[in-house]
Amino acid sequence: MQEDLAHGHDGPEHRYDRAQPAGRHHWLPLLGVPRRVILMLTSRIAMDSPQDQLLVDNFNRVLLHAGWGDPIGGLWFVGIEEGSSWADDPRSVAKWFDEDAKDRIRHLGGMTYEHGLGVVGLPPSRGSKVQRWVQTIVDGVRETDTRALQSTSPPLWAPGSRIFNTNLYPLARPAVSMQPRYFQTHFGVADAEAYKQIVHSTRFPALASFRASAAPRAIVCFGKGFWDQFEKLLNLPPTDRKLGDDGKWGFHEGERVVLAPFFGYWHMNRDRATAIARKLREWNVHDVLPA
């Protein structure tokens, strides 16, 4: 496992995204993803081998996998992408979907998600940066002590926690400036701009539908350099954005969306997390989270 190095959530590299069972995904055209568009991402013109099909299936799976946790009616956290990497074998993607996390996969609003992934027994100071700030904000909303050794609340992302995490972009990489080799060897993604376009045209509308089905009470998006893309995802006019007291975080009052800096040690601090939690309490998020 690699921690979030620059920009997204962290976690086991094989945990990452999951979708449908193995095979050709004929449901994709229902979501506006013709096969020719998927193939624009690859260096091949057509699928001439089982390996070609594997790459397309891998990409289809992660493109329409929302994230992990307990998404219904609670508090969402939206990052940029996973700050980790993939195992060497492209078949590990299908293995994760069809074996490793099979019993935890749920379907909602045209997407899949991993129901659970509770983090148990890790004090926040020993967890990842993202986990630390998610926990700090959640505890601020609950008005509990992050440093407490014991808590009766479900751990982050566990069933019943009403905490959910997702990302703008589905493929993990150590830094947003990188185009790792496994983008092509595992998913057939050879063109960075085509990748961005298909995420915006397909994943963003799918996440909007997923959000409508899950009806979260509020959403916290983190990564200041991507605030405009979070607003595009959530259909929020940038002109409606208001800033917090220190000007380093923002919010959309009517839609109950917070725009936060990246959850890193030098981007976030406890005062900023407290202010965000206070805003979430104004939106009565504490009423939907377990005490």
- Residue 93: per-residue pLDDT: 87
Which domains does the chain carry? 28-287 (3.40.470.10)
> pLDDT tens digits for 4-48?
333 443 333 223 333 333 333 333 433 444 444 444 454 433 445
Over residues 170-188, the pLDDT tens digits come to 998 877 778 888 888 888 8
What does the H/E/C string look like for the chain?
CECCCCCCCCECCCCCCCCCCCCCCCCHHHHCCCHHHHHCCCCCCCCCCHHHHHHHHHHHHHHCEEEEECCCCCEEEEECCCCCCCCCCCHHHHHHHHHHCHHHEEEECCEEEEECCCCCCCCHHHCCHHHHHHHHHHHHHHCCCCCCCCCCCCCCCCCCCCEEEEECCCCCCCCCCCCCCHHHHHHCCCCHHHHHHHHHHHHHHHHHHHHHHHCCCEEEEECHHHHHHHHHHCCCCHHHCEECCCCCCEEECCCCEEEECCCCCCCCCHHHHHHHHHHHHHCCHHHCCCC
pLDDT of residue 13: 29
pLDDT at 152: 62
pLDDT at position 37: 47
| Average of per-residue pLDDT values in the chain | 80
- Tens digit of pLDDT for each residue in 224-242? 999 999 999 999 999 999 9
| 115-126 average pLDDT score | 58
pLDDT band of residue 53 (cuts 50, 70, 90) is confident
